[in-house]
């Protein structure tokens, strides 16, 4: 697939040279810092040396004092407390962290995760009824609840107090809860708005510790779970999240909780774990239970203390993930065949597909896979409870939630945000919806954004690739949304030897620029089709990231090629 290379505009900052001098780094590396909003020596110090002292005071969050006071009362009075969380990774890690921590101070703790299929997303009426039946006096909801107006009213009518810890955008009416903790509330002046759901739960516990003079080190033992939520929920790795992710990854690498340790082992992960390790290996295994059966299994694993237990639970999650992969693969193949067989659909500006027997738990993943082949806004629908229900995924620069809202008269319900959404409609409306959605997209999408984009940080010469520069780039991690691993472009490189194809789909090359004595090794994952192109041309340009390759203990730098263009 053809890609656009979009180079960031050079930042003309008068202090660039002096900052480079003060930090004893090159002007190119200083440019990377300026792109990340780091403009002074002090800011650079904070950026390169994250500290737990950089975490904000939790009591700056609206309603935190009220929430902490109620939690303290419930624990000291030995009231029954229910920890309620969503069924995705952010929800299950939130429940595991809050339940795991508070269980040290109360024996009256229980948890509840709704069933994806019978209850759906968020606080359910069944969940509130369960709490009433169990004699619960306080519910703490995590990663959900900000729009649960009717459910909050039901809890109040039963005399159950509700503390909502959420990070999603509030609606026009807030639930009538005892306390709503959500930094995205318009009148909340908390300094950082991009916490994960687990992050908001963590702040509640930080406030609880501070109020009761509990050593925060006790809470910091749970930061590996927090890092898993931050990585898996794709929140920005900036500000407070970056500090949490930094220390959470440290814990994950040095002494993970037994459940995560078992997942790391069963995933076959070796070496230092980073955000990508969580996104591609740990997160999907935790998510698989909620997709296919019930997310309780994930919480059981993440809160287990005994190694024999964790190994058995990890096996369950691994098996579910393998099953999920099979569903995902077969449905994706079917979906792509449907597009390929329809001439109109092949040239359309959107993809909307419906088949009544596709598995509801994986259609969001299938939508993302379809975008890898046909880069355009995509909706995958299946049948559930005699309705068509589906997941929508967008491409960068197109608001899919807004496009769906223009078809709302055909829908029963929908919700989500710019990049992803969920929707339900009568099955008989599917053809009309497919037509209307295509009309909306075709009339509003800019042609250029239908070509995937590679954001390029800097154009450099190949001799920029050395261990001194790499060690400084590495200190800019953890990498993730809003702090991506830098992408470089080098123009006019030449092959030293013919390219090799690895495992039929990857490209391996040895290249140089100007002087054939200085050769650089490079790998391009999924770029095997570029081999012929570069063989026929004397010189070519590459977009790449710099990585360290560890082959049987021998470490060397290699280029991870993202794309190739003819010079």
Reported as a single tens digit per residue, the pLDDT across 273-329 is 999 999 999 999 999 898 888 899 999 999 998 888 898 899 999 999 999 999 999
Cβ–Cβ < 8 Å for 532, 512: no
| Cα(522)–Cα(228) distance, integer angstroms | 30
Beta strand residue intervals within 401-502, DSSP E: 413-416, 420-425, 453-456, 458-459, 488-495, 500-502
Give the C-alpha separation, 379 to 391, whole Å.
Answer: 6
Kindly tell me if the per-residue pLDDT of 355 is higher than 90: yes
pLDDT for residue 334? 97
Determine the 3-state secondary structure of 296 from DSSP.
Answer: helix
pLDDT the model gives residue 255: 96
**Rg value, the chain, Cα:** 25
Q: Is the predicted pLDDT of residue 537 greater than 80, yes or no?
A: no
Which one has a higher pLDDT value, 551 or 320?
Answer: 320
The upper half-sphere exposure of residue 399, i.e. CA atoms within 13 Å in the direction of its Cβ, equals: 8
User: Poorest-confidence range of 9-18, 146-155, 255-264, 433-442?
Assistant: 9-18
Q: What is the DSSP letter of 463?
A: G
User: What does the CA dihedral 341, 343, 344, 350 come to, rounded to 10 degrees?
Assistant: 60
Q: How far apart are CA 61 and CA 193, in angstroms?
A: 10
For the chain, the residue count is 567
Residue 241 backbone phi and psi in degrees, to 5: -60, -40
**DSSP states of 337-391 as a string?**
HHHHT-HHHHT-S-EEEE-TTS-GGGHHHHHHHHHHHS-S-EEEEEEETTEEEEE
| Percentage with pLDDT > 90 across the chain | 86
What gap in Å lies between CA 88 and CA 476, rounded to an integer?
Answer: 28
Specify the pLDDT at position 110: 97
Residue 13 has pLDDT above 90, yes or no: no
Name which of 422, 397, 398 is nearest 411 in CA terms.
Answer: 422
Q: How far is CA 518 from CA 69, 494, 566, in A?
A: 65, 11, 21
CA-wise closest residue to 557 among 455, 466, 425, 446: 466
Q: Kindly indicate the confidence band of residue 155, based on its pLDDT and cuts at 50, 70 and 90.
A: very high
Q: Are 380 and 356 in contact (CB under 8 A)?
A: no
CB 93 within 8 A of CB 245: no
Report how far Cα 63 is from the mean position of its chain's Cα atoms. 27
Mind listing the pLDDT tens digit for each residue in 476-527?
A: 999 999 999 999 999 999 999 999 999 999 999 999 999 999 999 999 999 9
Query: 396 vs 6, 232, 331, 348, 443, CA distance in Å?
Result: 13, 19, 24, 18, 17
Give the three-class secondary structure for 136: coil
In this prediction, residue 118 carries a pLDDT of: 85
Distance CA(128)–CA(84), nearest Å, equals 10
Tell me which of 15 and 377 has the higher pLDDT. Answer: 377
pLDDT at 536 over 80: no
* Each residue's pLDDT tens digit, 164-191: 999 988 888 999 999 999 999 999 999 9
- pLDDT tens digits, 420-473: 889 999 999 999 999 999 999 999 999 999 999 999 999 999 999 999 999 999
* pLDDT value at residue 552: 80
The predicted pLDDT at position 165 comes to 97
CA-to-CA distance for 324 and 302, rounded, in angstroms?
20
CB 183 within 8 A of CB 202: no
Per-residue model confidence (pLDDT) at position 117: 83
Mean pLDDT score, 556-565? 96
> How many angstroms separate the CA atoms of 255 and 555, rounded?
24
Phi, psi at 148, each rounded to 5°: -85, 60
Give me the mean pLDDT over the 10-23 stretch.
Answer: 88
Comparing CA positions, the residue from 509, 564, 511 lying closest to residue 541 is 564
Closest of 400, 397, 337 to residue 364, by C-alpha: 400
Reply yes or no on whether the pLDDT at 415 is more than 90: no
Q: How many CB atoms lie within 10 A of CB 405?
A: 13
| Per-residue pLDDT at 533 | 86
What mean pLDDT comes out for the span 391-413?
A: 95
230: CB partners within 8 A, 6+ apart = 196, 198, 199, 237, 241, 244, 245, 248, 275, 480
- Given this model, what pLDDT does residue 234 score? 87
Lowest average pLDDT, out of 15-29, 59-73, 203-217, goes to: 15-29
What is the average pLDDT across 107-111?
96
**Residue 303 dihedral angles phi and psi, to the nearest 5°:** -105, -5
Q: How wide is the angle at C-alpha 120 spanned by C-alphas 116 and 121, nearest 5°?
A: 100
Tell me the mean pLDDT in the region 138-163.
96
Phi, psi of 435, deg, nearest 5: -65, -45
- Tell me the average pLDDT of the chain: 94
Return the pLDDT at 370.
97
Please name which of 331, 318, 326 lies closest in space to residue 368, comparing C-alpha atoms.
331
Average confidence (pLDDT) over 229-250? 96
pLDDT of residue 116: 85
């Amino acid at each position: 697939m053809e890609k656009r290379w979009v180079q960031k505009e050079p930042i003309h900052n008068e202090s660039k040279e002096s900052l480079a001098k003060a930090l004893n780094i090159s002007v190119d590396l200083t440019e990377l810092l300026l792109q990340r909003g780091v403009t002074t020596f002090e800011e650079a110090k904070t950026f390169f040396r994250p500290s737990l002292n950089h975490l904000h005071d939790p009591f700056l969050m609206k309603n935190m004092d009220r929430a902490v006071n109620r939690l303290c009362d419930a624990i000291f009075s030995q009231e029954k407390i229910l920890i309620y969380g969503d069924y995705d990774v952010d929800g299950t890690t939130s429940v595991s962290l809050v339940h795991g921590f508070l269980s040290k101070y109360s024996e009256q703790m229980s948890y509840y995760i709704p069933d994806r299929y019978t209850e759906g997303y968020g606080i359910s009426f069944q969940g509130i009824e369960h709490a009433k039946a169990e004699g619960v006096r306080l519910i703490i909801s995590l990663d959900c609840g900000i729009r649960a107006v009717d459910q909050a009213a039901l809890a109040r009518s039963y005399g159950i107090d509700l503390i909502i810890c959420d990070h999603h955008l509030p609606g026009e009416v807030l639930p009538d809860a005892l306390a709503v903790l959500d930094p995205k509330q318009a009148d909340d002046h908390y300094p950082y708005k991009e916490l994960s759901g687990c992050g908001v739960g963590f702040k509640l516990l930080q406030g609880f510790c501070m109020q009761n003079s509990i050593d925060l080190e006790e809470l910091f033992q749970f930061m590996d779970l927090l890092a898993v939520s931050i990585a898996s929920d794709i929140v920005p790795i900036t500000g407070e999240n970056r500090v949490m992710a930094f220390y959470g990854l440290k814990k994950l690498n040095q002494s993970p909780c037994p459940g995560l340790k078992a997942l790391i082992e069963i995933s076959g992960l070796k070496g230092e774990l980073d955000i990508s390790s969580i996104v591609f290996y740990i997160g999907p295994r935790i998510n698989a239970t909620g997709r296919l059966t019930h997310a309780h299994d994930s919480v059981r694993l993440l809160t287990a203390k005994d190694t024999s237990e964790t190994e058995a639970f990890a096996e369950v999650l691994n098996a579910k993930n393998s099953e999920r992969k099979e569903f995902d693969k077969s449905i994706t193949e079917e979906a792509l065949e449907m597009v390929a067989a329809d001439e109109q659909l092949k040239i359309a500006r959107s993809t909307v597909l419906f088949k009544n027997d596709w598995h509801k738990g994986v259609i969001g993943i299938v939508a993302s896979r379809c975008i890898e082949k046909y880069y355009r806004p995509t909706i995958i629908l299946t049948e559930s409870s005699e309705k068509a229900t589906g997941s929508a995924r967008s491409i960068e620069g197109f608001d899919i939630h807004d496009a769906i809202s223009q078809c709302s008269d055909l829908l029963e319900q929908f919700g989500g945000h710019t990049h992803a959404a969920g929707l339900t409609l009568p099955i008989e409306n599917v053809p009309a919806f497919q037509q209307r959605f295509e009309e909306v997209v075709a009339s509003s999408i800019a042609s250029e954004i239908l070509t995937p984009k590679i954001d390029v940080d800097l154009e450099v010469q190949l001799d920029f690739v050395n261990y001194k520069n790499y060690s400084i780039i590495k200190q800019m991690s953890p990498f993730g949304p809003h702090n991506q691993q830098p992408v470089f472009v080098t123009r006019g490189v030449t092959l030293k030897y013919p390219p090799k194809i690895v495992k039929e789909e990857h490209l391996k090359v040895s290249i140089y620029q100007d002087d054939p004595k200085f050769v650089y090794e490079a790998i391009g994952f999924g770029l095997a089709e570029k081999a012929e192109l570069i063989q026929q041309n004397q010189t070519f340009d590459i977009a790449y990231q710099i990585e360290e390759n560890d082959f049987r203990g021998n470490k060397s730098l290699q280029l991870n090629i993202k794309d190739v263009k003819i010079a």
